[in-house]
Structure 1
Amino acid sequence: MRTDFGDLVIDRAIVHVVPQRKRADPDEPIPLSEAPCNLNDAVRTALQARLRSVLAATGREVIEDPDSRSALPDRVHSFLSGEINLVDVSVELVHLLRNSQSGVNSAGLLLVAEAHLGHQLSLLIVKLEQETGMQATETFVDGLRTFDMKYLADLLFTEKSKIHKVALFPEDGIGDERIEGWAADRQLSGKMAVFFLERFLGCRQKNEPREVTRRFHDVTTEWINSYIADPDIRINYVMATLAELQSPAPSLDPVEFAQRHLDLLHRDAFIEHLQQSELPCRTFDKDIHHLETRLNNMRVCFASGVFIVAPVDAIGDQQVLALEDQGDGTTSVTITGTVTTATAYAPPGGRRRSQSREPSHHSQVENHESAPSANE
């Protein structure tokens, strides 16, 4: 899937005011637009630029959830199939949005636009929040109610962006059973509010965060061990992978990861390997739930069958565990520390017998073997 939206073009747009849903009066009438806005070139250009940026930065691939009760996927399918026009689909969507929200969601605007993504007809849905004290100006065109887009531009293009939620569904994303597209939630740093993603859009993320995070770890370490020959570089790359996954950042951009941590000559091969492994090469939400027990330690294996399991911090500390390339395809490992115990080793699930020894004050172990493999 694409990583930018530079060819997104808005053809026509309709804006509806969405009042706050009051629990005591859920059927409060909505002042519906009956005609598209007057989009002048300046407003269209600025709006397209802002939406392209939002989708590129925080957009996530979404797919229709077959268990959802939302009618939105059917409405999107009907519009992109030519069965319903822009005005009518926008009216249905504003009611769906209102019903999916609770009393805590503030009043705002819903922009529904006929757009093109490249050559693909698309439906663009944008939830906006108005500036305090401002309201879109109601006007009439040929006797039909609409809202003045020139005034709306004042709400959109302030220093504080008021574009909060976006969804984009292209024509090539509709199928007999499901629709696919992109969604972005500016308020949750890449993740999406449940009411917006599930209740309103009737979708789920195509790349489930826990699974895609686990696969990024596995595929990246596989590439490092199969493509990188230098043992020092190999270990540095694995350590960078573990550090990136453990960082507090809520998302991970593989291209940015490659630019920050990989040598220039290795970046293209890494991205190509991700693509061949069917992993997203654009930002995804990170969830290390399946990896937590695997990120604290690194296992370094040698051709002889000898291996070392050590905390990542220890491998990065030359005074504790030092690996030195001997220049002939072998590596010297020096471990400095106090010996506390020695145990017989069995594979996971096997039985172990322990032999306690009196701790010594200082010991060093060296092993000269072929270059290590940084498999976790």
Structure 2
Amino acid sequence: MPTVEPLTLQQTMLHEIPRGRRQDKGGAEPLYSSAPTPLNPATDRFIREEMLQPAFAFAREIVATDTYGSPVPALVRAALQNPDLLADNSKQIADWMHRKQTNGSSAGVFLAALAKASAGDRFVILKAEHQEGVRLNHETNGENVVFEVEHLTELIMGQNSRVYKIGLFWVDAQDQLVGLMVDKQNGVSFADYFLQQFLGCELKHRAEVQTEEFVKAVTNFINTPGMPEEKRARYATAAVAVLESPSGQLTPSSFISEFMDAEDRDTFSQSLPSQIRSSTFTKDTRLVRSQIGGLKVKTSSGVTITASSEAMQNGTVIVDPTSEDGPRIIVKGEADSYRLSRPPA
């Protein structure tokens, strides 16, 4: 999980975004504020400590790219360089979100803020729902709209309000616009429109995809035609042990050198995707959680055996490829019960 330094909010803009996508004809339009909303200490603390900081536990590291044609990276970078641009640039960012969000997206509050951290300036984007049964009061002076600060607590500070999406940006030492993204509505399966079409970013690290690629490579390799049964069982058991270990890192080259026979190392290494072959990455099993914790062995006789990794390691299930009667699987123990079942998949 990325470490996020405490933030101090400097200027905060609030806009209202209606439900769904912006329509060219008809339909609700966003309501834009024309000036920053001053925050009282209690509101400031609540946004930082109750809405932003807890959400960063789900954050993903991102980096801006020109691939998707989003104006957000340029608007964010400009406001970081010149705070006077926050009001106008935040309107454009809010409008872009309304254009790119899906038709089923909830109405909510769009917050854009300039913030300070010990390492430098930060730009915050947040979308949260309205608390049910309250209204946002605002003052209109000519064409300008300004939200009143005393109504901010009614708008987003209720305990039942939900934070939908968050972006936190800064410029790194290489002059790249980087940051963190939180999509609490979609979790691991983040909304592509939010990351790519709206924020104009890519994930900096895709640990769950790298972990999944490792699992696929191991599975394909041990099921190579002609692979000895003893090796299949040993390599599969080793892979499960590595995935279930307390270590937060996964290094395929270490797995190869520690668990694989010399004659198989080069072949397996070449079967790995190049981006993970010689790298160490965060072990993230969220995409393969249903595939680990045990082993499923399909036999040529039509019997499928599912066993825990512990059963394979302690000898409860034994693969014996040298039996006089031919390769066999030995399961130790007594049957607790019998039940009718459909054929194994």
Paired position in structure 2 for 1:263: none
Paired position in structure 2 for 1:124: 124
Distance of 2:23 and 2:122 partners within structure 1: 34
Pairwise mapping of residues 259-278 of structure 1 onto structure 2 (< 5 A)?
Answer: none
Q: Is the 8 A contact 2:195 2:201 kept in 1?
A: yes
Please, which runs of 5 or more residues in structure 2 have no aligned partner? Answer: 217-236, 251-278, 298-304, 333-345
TM norm structure 1: 0.60
CA shift, 1:163, in A, is 1.5
Q: Secondary structure at the match of 1:183?
A: strand
- 1:340-362 per-residue CA deviation (whole Å, 9 max, x = no partner) reads x648xxxxxxxxxxx74497999
> Which amino acid is 1:181 matched to?
G
Q: Secondary structure at the match of 2:2?
A: coil
CA shift, 1:159, in A, is 2.6
Confirm whether residue 3 of structure 1 aligns to residue 6 of structure 2: no
- 1:212-232 per-residue CA deviation (whole Å, 9 max, x = no partner) reads 3258989xxxxxxxxxxxxxx
Paired position in structure 2 for 1:181: 179
> Which amino acid is 1:203 matched to?
C
Q: Is the 8 A contact 2:129 2:164 kept in 1?
A: yes
> Which amino acid is 1:287 matched to?
L
CA shift, 1:6, in A, is 4.2
CA shift, 1:86, in A, is 0.9
Q: Is the 8 A contact 1:174 1:180 kept in 2?
A: no
> Which amino acid is 1:18 matched to?
I
Paired position in structure 2 for 1:286: 286
Change (3 A) 1:136 1:208: same
Please, which runs of 5 or more residues in structure 1 have no aligned partner? Answer: 219-235, 245-251, 258-276, 299-310, 323-333, 344-354, 364-376
Paired position in structure 1 for 2:13: 14
- 1:154-192 per-residue CA deviation (whole Å, 9 max, x = no partner) reads 3323232422110010132773xx521101011123442
TM norm structure 2: 0.65
> Which amino acid is 2:102 matched to?
S
Paired position in structure 2 for 1:254: 248
Q: Secondary structure at the match of 1:48?
A: helix
Change (3 A) 1:137 1:87: same
2:199 to 183, 198, 201: 201
Distance of 1:48 and 1:40 partners within structure 2: 12
CA shift, 1:143, in A, is 9.4
- 1:295-331 per-residue CA deviation (whole Å, 9 max, x = no partner) reads 7389xxxxxxxxxxxx9946523xx764xxxxxxxxx
Paired position in structure 2 for 1:136: 136
Q: Secondary structure at the match of 2:165?
A: strand
Change (3 A) 1:280 1:315: closer
Change (3 A) 1:201 1:115: same
Change (3 A) 1:62 1:24: same
Distance of 1:57 and 1:242 partners within structure 2: 22
Distance of 1:129 and 1:357 partners within structure 2: 64
Change (3 A) 1:19 1:336: closer
Q: Is the 8 A contact 1:120 1:172 kept in 2?
A: no
Change (3 A) 1:46 1:239: same
Q: Is the 8 A contact 2:131 2:154 kept in 1?
A: no
Distance of 1:199 and 1:79 partners within structure 2: 20
Change (3 A) 1:41 1:316: same
Change (3 A) 1:315 1:207: closer
Confirm whether residue 63 of structure 1 aligns to residue 57 of structure 2: no
CA shift, 1:208, in A, is 2.0
Distance of 1:115 and 1:55 partners within structure 2: 17
Change (3 A) 1:297 1:146: same
Change (3 A) 1:203 1:174: farther
Distance of 1:314 and 1:32 partners within structure 2: 57
Q: Is the 8 A contact 2:116 2:122 kept in 1?
A: yes
CA shift, 1:337, in A, is 6.1
CA shift, 1:122, in A, is 1.1
Aligned CA RMSD, in angstroms, stands at 4.4
Change (3 A) 1:174 1:132: farther
Q: Is the 8 A contact 1:108 1:130 kept in 2?
A: yes
Change (3 A) 1:280 1:143: same
Change (3 A) 1:314 1:142: closer
Q: Is the 8 A contact 2:131 2:160 kept in 1?
A: no
Paired position in structure 1 for 2:103: 103
Distance of 1:46 and 1:142 partners within structure 2: 32
Change (3 A) 1:314 1:212: closer
Distance of 2:330 and 2:42 partners within structure 1: 75
Distance of 1:105 and 1:59 partners within structure 2: 21
Q: Is the 8 A contact 2:126 2:165 kept in 1?
A: yes
